[in-house]
Amino acid sequence: MSDQQLSGDVYYPSKEVIKHANAKCDDLYQFASENYEGFWEKEAKNLHWFKKWNKVLDDSNKPFYKWFVGGKTNIAYNCLDVHVETPRRNKLALIWEGENGEFRSFSYFSLRRETCKFANVLKSLGVVKGDRVTLYMGRIPELMIGMLACARIGAIHSVVYGGFSVESLHERLEDSQSKVLIVADGSYQRGKVVQLKKIADEALQRAATVESVLVVKRTGEPVNMEAGRDMWYHELMSLPIANNSCNIEVMDAEDPLFMLYTSGTTGKPKAILHTHGGYMVGVYTTLKYVFDIHEEDRYWCAADPGWITGHSYIVYGPLLNGATSFMYEGAPTHPYPNRWWQMIEKYGINILYTAPTAIRGLMRYGEAWPNRHDLSSLRILGSVGEPINPEAWKWYHRVIGKEKCPIMDTWWQTETGMFMITPMPCLPLKPGSGTKPFPGLKMDIVDENGESVKPNEEGYLVIKNPWPAMVRTIYNDPDRYVNQYWSRFPGVYMTGDSARRDVDGYYWVIGRVDDVIKVSGYRLGTAEIESALVSHPAVAEAAAIGLPHDIKGNAIYTYVILKSGFTKSDSLVEELIMHVGHEVGPIAKPESVEIVDSLPKTRSGKIMRRVLKAKALGLDPGNISTLEE
């Protein structure tokens, strides 16, 4: 495949990269296209099952597909116990550095021990299989331990990103009906402390289901502890109930593992549900081939565990592969813009997986910062979250990868659970393209009628066959699941992205075609930002749009109509921006709030964000025949 002549700006993999690669491209693509279920079955056999499946794929009730039907397993068992039985027992599973320079590490043995202890703590609080547990923390080992402890006893974890705030947390606690909240007292970000427990206290006043709150001490700043509800993690972990051994809950392949809220087209964030069996096989396989995980590697995914990238490729994927993962708590530029490069040198990181926004942000500071460090341990680089512009790709490739590390530009979603359009080290690369669908996947780009478009034409990106790590449903809302993803073109999964495919069959993802805004790779819905604005006493109506931004990819711009009795002022605008930060989270803070007298709406009252966007960009708003007078 690497000998093939391709059009455009192409980077062919070196002989060493191809030789080293777990993925033998020709074989994998061919095997998976000829025997799709056989391909996944072969991979599933590399993992431990208490009972083997009877059927690889059950498609009798579309789009509610089932994988590895009848199989019994537990993902946490595969992440930890399986390795503890081998010489990997003493291998580092996790290396962690705090923003303040603190250091901790866990072998597979000790990570399993901590997980078992915490699983016993959860059990003692009455958590049983199927219960929901919310986790709200920064990037610290206890987040990983908490997720794995839930998985071990069959509880469903719901991680809320530590950058979210009061209303986002409240909504997720309430929708999931969580029994337990695990929260850190605070987290370090850019040298400052974010008071997570304080935010949680406010959210808890709005949410009623939580019975117990477990508080992890990270910063040691004083927090309010409510008697009868709040307990310290470290105190519970030192009690006899926090025993070192904890039986594993045998899970059905289709039993839920976690839910993760994500923004969609309309309304409230929805809880995407993933399972123990298929998800496990999907993330294990994709990480192994795409990031070419080998025994001796030190792998660093710099995402946050609060998003799907962290679930699949900080926690589950690396542990399933028996890899050594590195986790860093803080900001890339703290205290100086060489922080990341310094840690790559210090820990000898071989694989770095991050987002275009981080690369663009670090590029700004110039080459001197990375050039002060020995980055020669790096072998493979990765990108995720938004399209990577060729300029950033080339900088990453040249300055960080020294022109020897292939870049895996992975396209996927919370819903897909695993990489979908992705290079593998054996494939030639084109800067800005995620190359091709992972072996066996049938993806396409279609027009309004669902017909495939011609090469280089833009259209809707869709997926035409099921895959093991696919979302199973929206928690408690199967109808919304069907409507949202499977109804535009029946039987076909709608990604919500637009893309084009070039003459070589390489995919170029353009961006969202719905009301989702990707800000620094974070996924936010216009609806969340608008409802936060409207929850302010001065605001009658609000509209949010995303506009291109050099570093963030997109930035949020908002328009509001004030209630009568309120007048426009700079201080009110500032207050509204802070209000969105307080309700949704700092990442959702609008770049600007423009106070207007009216908003463009359809006759049925829907805000036409497209018109606002065109106007802001100085473009023709297109068809406005549905615009109200």
Q: In whole angstroms, what is the distance from residue 361 CA to residue 332 CA?
A: 9
Here's the x/- map for ligand WTA, 398-427, by CB under 6 A: it reads as -----------xxxxxx-------------
Please, what is the minimum distance in Å from the beta carbon of residue 176 to ligand WTA?
18
Chain residues 497-556 in contact with ligand WTA, contact rule CB under 6 A: 497, 509, 511-512, 518, 523
Q: Which residues make beta-bridge pairs with 435? A: 507
Please, what is the minimum distance in Å from the beta carbon of residue 153 to ligand WTA?
27
**Residue 381 three-state SS:** strand
Figure out which of the listed residues 236, 308, 351, 555 binds ligand WTA, where binding follows CB under 6 A: 308
For 370, 373, 379, the CA distances from 397, given in Å and listed in that order, are 12, 16, 11
Here's the x/- map for ligand WTA, 91-130, by CB under 6 A: it reads as ----------------------------------------
Please, what is the minimum distance in Å from the beta carbon of residue 359 to ligand WTA?
12
Figure out which of the listed residues 29, 67, 108, 307 binds ligand WTA, where binding follows CB under 6 A: 307
Q: Which is nearer to ligand WTA, 369 or 522 (CB)?
A: 522
Beta pairing, strands 72-73 & 380-384: unpaired
Q: In whole angstroms, what is the distance from residue 132 CA to residue 401 CA?
A: 42
Q: Which is nearer to ligand WTA, 270 or 523 (CB)?
A: 523
Please, what is the minimum distance in Å from the beta carbon of residue 386 to ligand WTA?
5
Chain residues 428-467 in contact with ligand WTA, contact rule CB under 6 A: 434
Residue 337: CB atoms within 10 Å? 17
Torsion of CA 466, 467, 471, 477, to 10 degrees: 20
Who's near 525: CB < 8 A, 6+ residues apart? 263, 264, 265, 266, 269, 515, 516, 517
Q: In whole angstroms, what is the distance from residue 337 CA to residue 197 CA?
A: 29
Chain residues 219-248 in contact with ligand WTA, contact rule CB under 6 A: none
Choose among 335, 311, 321: nearest CA to 285. Answer: 321
Stretch that binds ligand WTA, among 113-121, 344-352, 475-483, 494-502 (CB under 6 A): 494-502
Q: Which is nearer to ligand WTA, 56 or 290 (CB)?
A: 290
Q: Which is nearer to ligand WTA, 197 or 512 (CB)?
A: 512
Number of residues that bind ligand WTA (CB under 6 A): 23
Choose among 506, 584, 524, 615: nearest CA to 6. Answer: 506
Q: Which is nearer to ligand WTA, 41 or 497 (CB)?
A: 497
Which structure tokens are listed for 426? 């054996």
Query: What stretch of H or E contains 290?
Result: helix 277-290
Please, what is the minimum distance in Å from the beta carbon of residue 276 to ligand WTA?
20
CB closest to ligand WTA, residue no = 414
- CB-based burial, 470-487: b 16+ in 10 Å, e otherwise: bbbbbbebeebbbebbbe
Residue carrying structure tokens 């594993």: 248
Which structure tokens are listed for 162? 């530590």
Q: In whole angstroms, what is the distance from residue 252 CA to residue 468 CA?
A: 14
Figure out which of the listed residues 63, 162, 186, 387 binds ligand WTA, where binding follows CB under 6 A: 387
Based on C-alpha coordinates, what's the Rg of the chain?
24
Please, what is the minimum distance in Å from the beta carbon of residue 508 to ligand WTA?
9
- Contact at 8 Å (CB) between 437 and 464? no
Figure out which of the listed residues 131, 201, 304, 386 binds ligand WTA, where binding follows CB under 6 A: 386
Q: Which is nearer to ligand WTA, 107 or 410 (CB)?
A: 410
Please, what is the minimum distance in Å from the beta carbon of residue 500 to ligand WTA?
12
- Contact at 8 Å (CB) between 145 and 307? no
Q: In whole angstroms, what is the distance from residue 527 CA to residue 556 CA?
A: 12
Stretch that binds ligand WTA, among 22-30, 55-63, 307-315, 614-622 (CB under 6 A): 307-315
Q: In whole angstroms, what is the distance from residue 527 CA to residue 516 CA?
A: 9
Please, what is the minimum distance in Å from the beta carbon of residue 270 to ligand WTA?
11
Cis preceding linkage at 468, omega within 30: no
- Contact at 8 Å (CB) between 627 and 602? yes
Please, what is the minimum distance in Å from the beta carbon of residue 260 to ligand WTA?
9
Q: Which is nearer to ligand WTA, 98 or 585 (CB)?
A: 585
Q: Which is nearer to ligand WTA, 256 or 387 (CB)?
A: 387
DSSP 627: B
Beta pairing, strands 516-519 & 92-97: unpaired
Q: Which is nearer to ligand WTA, 180 or 529 (CB)?
A: 529
Please, what is the minimum distance in Å from the beta carbon of residue 510 to ligand WTA?
8
Figure out which of the listed residues 180, 207, 384, 429 binds ligand WTA, where binding follows CB under 6 A: 384
Q: Which is nearer to ligand WTA, 98 or 382 (CB)?
A: 382
Please, what is the minimum distance in Å from the beta carbon of residue 25 to ligand WTA?
19
Q: Which residues bind ligand WTA (CB under 6 A)?
A: 262, 307-309, 384-387, 409-414, 434, 495-497, 509, 511-512, 518, 523
